[in-house]
Structure 1
Amino acid sequence: MSQSEAKAKARELFAGRKALFDRLGGVFDNAGIDQRAIVAPVDWYAGDHGWEARNSLYLDASERLFEEAALAAIARAGLEPGDVDGVVTVSTTGIATPSLEARVGGRIGLRANVRRVPVFGLGCAGGISGLATAARLAAAEPGSRWLFVCVETCSISIRLDTDDPAALVATALFGDGAAAALVSTEGDGVGHVTGAGERLWPDTLGIMGWRVEDPGLAVIFDRAIPPFVTAELAGAVDSILGELGLQRSDIDRLCSHPGGAKVVTAIEQALELGEGSLDLERDVLRDHGNMSAPTVLFVLERLLARGLPKRTLMTAFGPGFTCSALSLERA
């Protein structure tokens, strides 16, 4: 749906909290988003949904998205589903037990002995942390082929029963999506994962995450995120690069999770990049919104289409508060 349609629908849905919408409705106009995808018909969001209904929709939608993304990635790698030795699944917007890859594995042709590593709780950092996990597992068993899939259905957690400003801001920013990749030590890949790292800041649990409440998950999305990124990102990136034997001058381009327009600007300022350097990040945000974990992989896909630089540093922020980073070299 278009952002103008989303704003009009939000004004209708938040009618019982008119003062909140009047105060914060401008975020729809300033988010740098033109359109987003959502997994349910728009009228569904006007309903009174509890945990069971929300998670049932999460399972139905996430299974479809997982299947679509996984099969596309396997095909682009020139493989068949039966060639996959292991699966890393990242998803934080619902609960699936059995996990998503177990639910769809038989349908898409994964082997019965495929290894499974489902991961919950990474939030927006999951696209990079999950890819790094798949790379480590592939490196630990040379020749094995690992499928990485991340699926997020952020829109299912839209909440209309709260005066929390974060609920309205999330409604303006988040969309739904999925992405996947194949990782192996053999074959003709488009890039080489040469290292990864994370930084977790103490006493920052309240910056980003979920509160588990009776009607469903409630977003924690602090307005302090952009200034925090501006102040802290450079030190975190330099530390991670140092552990990899690199420095910022070795990096040809960033490939960052575009959490929002202000966050993209904060990244450019923190790392002293030229204004507008993160053009692909803004393009993905414009076309898809913030899909949480898959978003940075949408940026990577566009970077691959443009031509992967010699060395790229992928970055994303997530609950914790965490910065995840991954070094990717052109094949």
Structure 2
Amino acid sequence: MASRVYLERIATATFDSDVHEAFVRYAHGMLREERSRALFLRMAERSGITARYSPLFIDGTHGPTDVDAYEFYQSGSFPATAQRMALYKQFAPVLMRRALDRLALSQEERQRVRHVIVTSCTGFYAPGLDFDAVDYLGLDPSVERTMIGFMGCYAAMNALKQARHIVRSEPDDSVLVINLEICTLHLQESQELGEVLSFLVFGDGCAASLVSARPTGFELESFRAIRLENTSNLITWDIGDQGFDMVLSGQVPTAVGQALEAHRKDFVHDGSVALWAVHPGGRSVLDAVEDALALPTGALQASRDVLRQYGNMSSATVMFVLESIMRTARAGQRGCAMAFGPGLTAETMNFVTAPQS
């Protein structure tokens, strides 16, 4: 009989600087067409976001190691990809260590960690964050390491899926999962309102999680991927000469809503799901999910709170939502987590709160 697998606990971290309001002013100034400027401000007010965090100090007090985004993102000379990756290499380990400190692994837990899985789609270097985590925690240098890159916002679901496979085959081992994104490194200089609006929602964050066979936290019951036909162009993510180039179509909420409505019976057929951890890709995405699944008022409050407090942090975001839900979930409550990304694909996970949590 296969072992049951549990998401024991989650720790989350962001940078110190809230840059949301500063970015709104910056982006408003970057747009030259008056109608676009007015529409941008209207959409910013309706975004459902009040804070996003970044190591790029667009505003505020600067120290000797800080980066002034007004200098980093200068009109007519936005930085090349190599410059952005240099900052990723500088700041990503700092953010990861903050999350790992909050995860507070005991010495015994560190000895049981035999696998490290890292997800990130906003930066790469080698040896990378997997080695940094092993060294920082003093893990056995022979631990197995897996990097899941460029999968976008649903990468955390795939990381948990892989962690479940590992623990089911090796029940005595634990898996450390790290989801880290620095989305604000990839702002593009553009007069296209849609492109500028896509960066209105993104922030930076990291989640660190422990997955094992010990019955605490959330039991990871099952996973399912739902790929939407004829939608592969709605979310794309390519490496360009000046950072990573994103396409985030305004048709995404409608496509997600239609897909979930078609599969509604798979999620709510018996009404047993009490906990909903939905990736907050944006306010309109959450509205579409809520409508498609006919969820009760407040069902997505944790997702809306994370969106408001942090924005969309790509792969780390759904883990922030799960961490929030874990704090108040009652034993035996069933839940469904889902995140959306390139493909267009919805990655879903069924879970239940363990009796001991």
Q: Could you state the TM-score of these two structures normalised by the residue count of structure 2?
A: 0.84
**1:296 paired residue among 281, 305, 318:** 318
Pairs aligned (count):
322
Distance 2:339 2:270 in 1: 16
Distance 1:4 1:79, change over 3 A: same
Q: Does 1:196 align with 2:218?
A: no
1:142 CA drift (Å): 1.2
Residues 255 and 300, structure 1, Cα contact 8 Å, conserved in 2? yes
For 1:165 and 1:11, the matched residues in 2 are separated by 10
% identity of equivalent residues: 25
TM-score, with structure 1 as normaliser: 0.90
Is the alpha carbon distance of 1:264 and 1:145 closer, same or farther for their aligned partners in structure 2, counting shifts above 3 Å? same
Structure number with the higher strand fraction is 2
Is the Cα–Cα contact under 8 Å of residues 158 and 170 in structure 1 kept in the other structure? no
Equivalent runs, 1:1-331 vs 2, <5 Å: 1=18, 3-12=20-29, 14-16=30-32, 20-42=36-58, 43-44=68-69, 45-47=72-74, 48-75=78-105, 79-160=108-189, 162-185=190-213, 187-236=214-263, 238-239=265-266, 247-308=269-330, 310-331=333-354
2:64: which partner in 1? none
Go from structure 1 to structure 2 and tell me whether the alpha carbon gap of 1:236 and 1:120 turns closer, same or farther (over 3 Å shift). Answer: farther
Counterpart residue identity of residue 27, structure 1? M
**Contact conserved, 1:92 with 1:121, CA < 8 A, in 2?**
yes
Q: Which one-letter code corresponds to 1:207 in the other structure?
A: L
Mapped partners of 1:195, 1:81: distance in 2: 26
Separation in 2 of the partners of 1:107 and 1:67? 7
- State the one-letter code of the partner of 1:139: R
In structure 2, distance between residues paired with 1:211 and 1:25: 28
SS in 1 for 2:99: helix
Distance 1:104 1:253, change over 3 A: closer
Task: Say which is worse superposed, 129-138 or 286-295, in terms of deviation.
Answer: 129-138
2:28 touches 2:40 (CA, 8 Å); kept in 1?
no
State the AA in 1 paired with 2:57. P
Contact 2:260–2:289 (CA<8 Å) still a contact in 1? yes
Deviations 1:127-147 (A, max 9, x none): 222112111111121111100
Could you say which structure has the higher helix fraction? Answer: 1
Unmatched tracts of structure 1, length 5 or more: none
**Alpha-carbon distance, 1:248 to partner:** 4.9
1:18-53 deviation line (CA, Å, top 9, x unaligned):
554334332211110011111222132434311111
Query: Which whole-Å CA distance do the structure 2 matches of 1:58 and 1:236 have between them?
Result: 38
Q: Is the 2:31–2:191 Cα contact (8 Å) retained in structure 1?
A: no
**Aligned residue identity for 1:5:** A
Structure 1: how far apart are the matches of 2:211 and 2:249?
Answer: 34
| CA RMSD, 1 decimal | 2.1
Structure-1 residue corresponding to 2:65 = none
